[in-house]
Structure 1
Amino acid sequence: MNLKLSHISNIKNNNLQITGSKSETNRLLILQSLYPEIEIDNISNSDDSRLMRAALASNEELIDIHHAGTAMRFLTAYFAVKNGRTTVLTGSKRMQERPIKILVDALTQLGCDISYVKNEGYPPIKIVGKNPENHKVSLAANVSSQYISALMLIASSLPNGLEITLEGKVTSVPYINMTLSLLKDVGINGSFENNIIHIEPIKIVSPKTVVVESDWSSASYFYSIVALSDFGTVTLGSYKQDSYQGDASLSKIYKRLGVETTFKENRITLKKINSLDSSDILELDLSNSPDIAQTIAVTCFGLGKACYLTGLHTLKIKETDRLEALKIEIEKLGGEVSITDDSLKLSASTLINSDITIDTYHDHRMAMAFAPLALRVSLFINDADVVSKSYPDFWDDLKKLDFKVL
C-alpha cells in the first residue's frame, strides 16, 4: 500500500488512545506462558505481539516470526528451556540477516542445545529444549538489550535461577530495568547491581493482572507532529509519569524542540510552545532510547535545526540499517546527513523538497517518522502498511488530526 500525505497547515486537536507497548506486552507474554496465573490488560495490537502470541500458542515444530525481531530473541530463549520440545525458529529474509549468535552462545553456556540451519550466527535455528543445569552466564554489556532481556525472562523458570554478568559498559539500561520491573510486578525477585543481574527461581506466582502502559515510541510521532505544527495540542493515553519505558525521555527531549508535556490522570497532553532556538545544534546520546532516533532526526530536519545523535550502534541491525536509510531519505528531501557506525549528524537547512517518495525498507519506524513532514510539504510513503508491525491504527489516527491521507 502506497499513500500520499497532502500538506496541511495545522492539526486538529484530539484525544487519541495509543495501543499498549509492544516491548512490555512481549515480555509479559513470555512470562504468562511460563506462569499461566498472570493476566494481561491493554495488550499491544501490533503485528509483533500478534506473532508472539501465535508462536507461543503453536504446537508446530516450524515457527515463522517474519520481521519480528523481539519475538526472535525472546522465543529463542523460551524454546531453549522447553524440555523435550524441538523447534525450528525462522523469519523473513531480513530476519535471516540479523545476528543471533550472541544470544545462542549465552544459552549454550547454560547447557542449551541450539544449532544453525543455514548460516552460522543467523536464523533459522534449530532448538532442542532442555532443562539447563548451569545458572551463570556472561556476555558483552554493549549488545542489544533484547539478548539480555531474553535471558532474564526465562531465568526464574530455571532450577537455580540465573546470574548474568555483563562485561564492559552497559547500553540500553532502561530496557533491562523495564524487564526487571515487570518481573517484580508479577512476583519474581531480581536485582541489577555492578553489571551483575541476578534472578531468583520460582515455580508458581500469585495470580495477578498486569496493565500494559501505552507505547512511548508510538507517542514520539505525535511529539514530532506538534513540534512541526504552528500551534497545536494532542492528548494521548494511557501513560505514566514514572514509566518503565526508556522512550519516556521524549518529554524532556521535545521540550528542547518546542513541545510541552503535561501529565494528568494517566494521559499526556502535548502542546506547542514558542521557545525553539533553531540556531543551536541538538546533541543527544540516545544509547538508552535508540528507537526514537529516526523521529528526532526527521523533526529536526523539518524545523531546520541541526542535530548530532550518538549511541546508535544497534540501529544497523534493525529491520533495516536505519542510519543508512535515514541518510538516503532525508537527502532525497534536500537535507545533508553524515553517519558513522553509531552516530548521525544533520546540518541545518530550510529547504524541504515537495512530493518526494519515501521508501520504508520494510521498517515501520521509517514510515511513521517521516509522516509528520506533511505539516511542511506533501509527500508519498511507499509500503505504508508496514506500520502494522507496531501501530496498526497509525494512519487512522492521523486522519483524526485532519491529516489528508490518500
Structure 2
Amino acid sequence: MTIQLHKSVIKEQSNITITGSKSESNRLLLLQALYPELKINNVSNSDDSIVMQKALTSKETTLDIHHAGTAMRFLTAYFASKEGRNVALTGSSRMKERPIEILVDALHQLGAEISYTEAYGCPPIRIQGKKLTKHKVTLKANVSSQYISALLLIASRLENGLELTLEGKITSIPYINMTLDLLNQVGIQTTFENQVIKVNSKKDALKTESLTVESDWSSASYFYSIVALSPIGTEVKLTSYKEESLQGDSVLAHIYIAFGVKTVFGGDSILLKKVEDSKSNTVEFQLNNSPDIAQTIAVTCLGLGLKCHLTGLHTLKIKETDRLVALQNELQKLGATIDITEDTLTLHKTVTLNKNVAIATYNDHRMAMAFAPLALKTDVIIEDYRVVSKSYPTFWDDLKTLGFKFSK
C-alpha cells in the first residue's frame, strides 16, 4: 500500500496532540506488571505498546512480538524472572535477525534459563522463568541501552536487587537515565556512579501509584522538520511536553535552532516557530544519545539543500532495518550524494530533488515519517505507509490537519 504526497503548503498555525512516549510507556507497563497497583496515564497508542500490554497479560506459551524490539528485550528479562513461567518469544523475520545475545548472556549471569530455538544469538528464544538470586552482572554498554534498561526494570523484584557493571563507552545514556528516573519516582532506590548501576530490592509498597507519560519527542521530530521546511512565520503547537524531559530526543529543541526553528515552552505544550532561514551551509551533530532522530535530521537537510555530517549512529544498524543503508538508498533516489560508515552519515548539498520518487520503508516506521515532510518541497510517494502505526498511528491524520495533500 502506497500513499501519494502532493506538494503542499501547510497552515500558518496548527495545533497537534501527540500520544504518550513509547519509551516511557513500555518501561512503565513492565513496572505495572511487577507492581499491579501502579496506574499509568497517557499510555502510548503505538503498536509496540499494544504488543507489550498484550504480552504482559497473556497466558499463552508462545508470544509473537512482531517488530517490537523494545518489547522483545524488556519481556526477555521480565519472563526470565517470572518464576514458573515457561514461554517462547518470537517475532517478525527482521526480529529474528536482531541480536539479543548480550542481554541473554547477562541474564544467564543472574541464573536465568534461556535458550535459542533457531539462530544462535537471536530470537526466537525459549525462557524458563525462575527465581533469580544472583545480583551481580557485567554487560557491554556500547551496543543498545535497551539491554541495560531491561535488567534495571526487573531489578527491584530480584531477591537481592542488582549490581550492574557496564563495560566500554555507554550508548544512549538519556534512555538509561529515563529508566532510573522512573524507578526513583515510584520509590525504588538506585545509584549510578562511574560504570556501575545499583538497584535495591523493593518489597514494600510504591511511593507513587500514578504516573502520567509525557508525549513522544521522537514523534515531535517530524513536526520540527515540517516547520524547518516551511516559510518564516509558520507555527505548530504540540502537546503534552515538559521542558525538563526524561527523553533524550528532547535535544531537538536545541538542534533545530540550526534550521531556524525556535521552541517556546508553555504549560504542557511546545510551540515550534520558524523564525529565520538556516545561516549555515553545513551542519554537524553527534547523535550518540539520540540516534532515533538521525533520519529526520538527514531529510531536513536534504529539503533545505544543506550538507550534514552525523556521527554516533552505530546503533542504527540493528534497528527495524539497517537505517544507515536504508537512508543511503532512499536519499540517493531523490538525487542526493551520501556517504555512510558503521557510525556516520554524510549528506552532500543537493540543489534539486527528483520528483515522485517512491520511498521504501523497510518495515520501519521512522523511514515513512522522516521522509513525509519532503512533500513541502516536491511530490513524493511513501510505500507501506501504514507502518507508522508502530509508534504513531494517527500520523497521517495529523499531517492532514496541518494541510498536507495526499491520496491513497
Give, in whole Å, the separation in 2 of the partners of 1:247 and 1:89: 29
Q: Which amino acid aligns with 2:248?
A: G
How does 1:182-221 map onto structure 2 within 5 Å?
182-206=182-206, 208-221=209-222
Which of 267, 287, 299 is 2:269 aligned to? 267
State the match for 1:368 in structure 2. Answer: 369
Does the Cα contact within 8 Å between 1:284 and 1:308 map onto a contact in 2?
Answer: yes
Give, in whole Å, the separation in 1 of the partners of 2:306 and 2:279: 8
State the match for 1:171 in structure 2. Answer: 171
How does 1:98-117 map onto structure 2 within 5 Å?
98-117=98-117
CA displacement 1:318-342 (0-9 Å, x = unmatched): 0000000000100100011000011
Give, in whole Å, the separation in 2 of the partners of 1:356 and 1:82: 49
Does the Cα contact within 8 Å between 2:9 and 2:404 map onto a contact in 1?
Answer: no
How does 1:151-166 map onto structure 2 within 5 Å?
151-166=151-166
* Secondary structure of the structure 1 residue equivalent to 2:387: helix
Report the RMSD for the aligned CA atoms in angstroms.
Answer: 0.8
C-alpha displacement at 1:149, in angstroms? 0.2
Q: Which amino acid aligns with 1:252?
A: H
* Secondary structure of the structure 2 residue equivalent to 1:386: helix
Give, in whole Å, the separation in 1 of the partners of 2:231 and 2:11: 9
State the match for 1:294 in structure 2. Answer: 295
Q: Identical aligned pairs, as a percentage? A: 61
C-alpha displacement at 1:278, in angstroms? 3.8
C-alpha displacement at 1:170, in angstroms? 1.0
Give, in whole Å, the separation in 1 of the partners of 2:203 and 2:16: 40
Which of 253, 256, 259 is 1:254 aligned to? 256
Give, in whole Å, the separation in 1 of the partners of 2:152 and 2:132: 14
Does the Cα contact within 8 Å between 2:360 and 2:384 map onto a contact in 1?
Answer: yes
Give, in whole Å, the separation in 2 of the partners of 1:338 and 1:234: 33
Q: Which amino acid aligns with 1:128?
A: Q
CA displacement 1:231-281 (0-9 Å, x = unmatched): 3100000000000000000000001111000000010000001141242x2
* Secondary structure of the structure 2 residue equivalent to 1:271: strand
State the match for 2:97 in structure 1. Answer: 97
Give, in whole Å, the separation in 2 of the partners of 1:143 and 1:154: 20
State the match for 1:19 in structure 2. Answer: 19
C-alpha displacement at 1:388, in angstroms? 0.1
Structure 2, unaligned runs of 5 or more = none
CA displacement 1:130-183 (0-9 Å, x = unmatched): 111210000112120000000000000001100000011111000000000000
State the match for 2:242 in structure 1. Answer: 240
Give, in whole Å, the separation in 1 of the partners of 2:203 and 2:404: 51
State the match for 1:346 in structure 2. Answer: 347
State the match for 1:147 in structure 2. Answer: 147
C-alpha displacement at 1:204, in angstroms? 3.5
CA displacement 1:195-215 (0-9 Å, x = unmatched): 101000002333511000000
Give, in whole Å, the separation in 1 of the partners of 2:84 and 2:48: 26
State the match for 2:403 in structure 1. Answer: 402
* Secondary structure of the structure 2 residue equivalent to 1:142: coil
Q: Which amino acid aligns with 1:296?
A: I
* Secondary structure of the structure 2 residue equivalent to 1:63: strand
Q: Which amino acid aligns with 2:249?
A: D
* Secondary structure of the structure 2 residue equivalent to 1:387: helix
C-alpha displacement at 1:12, in angstroms? 4.3
Does the Cα contact within 8 Å between 2:9 and 2:403 map onto a contact in 1?
Answer: no
C-alpha displacement at 1:405, in angstroms? 2.0
Does the Cα contact within 8 Å between 2:360 and 2:382 map onto a contact in 1?
Answer: yes
How does 1:312-391 map onto structure 2 within 5 Å?
312-391=313-392
* Secondary structure of the structure 1 residue equivalent to 2:118: coil
Structure 1, unaligned runs of 5 or more = none
* Secondary structure of the structure 2 residue equivalent to 1:202: coil
Give, in whole Å, the separation in 2 of the partners of 1:275 and 1:170: 35
* Secondary structure of the structure 2 residue equivalent to 1:262: strand
CA displacement 1:109-130 (0-9 Å, x = unmatched): 0000000001110100000001
Give, in whole Å, the separation in 2 of the partners of 1:257 and 1:133: 52
TM-score by length of 2: 0.98
TM-score by length of 1: 0.99
Give, in whole Å, the separation in 2 of the partners of 1:405 and 1:278: 32
C-alpha displacement at 1:11, in angstroms? 3.5
Q: Which amino acid aligns with 1:94?
A: R
* Secondary structure of the structure 1 residue equivalent to 2:75: helix
* Secondary structure of the structure 2 residue equivalent to 1:111: coil
Q: Which region of structure 1 is more displaced relative to structure 2, 93-102 or 269-278? A: 269-278
Aligned residues, how many? 405
Give, in whole Å, the separation in 2 of the partners of 1:391 and 1:127: 31
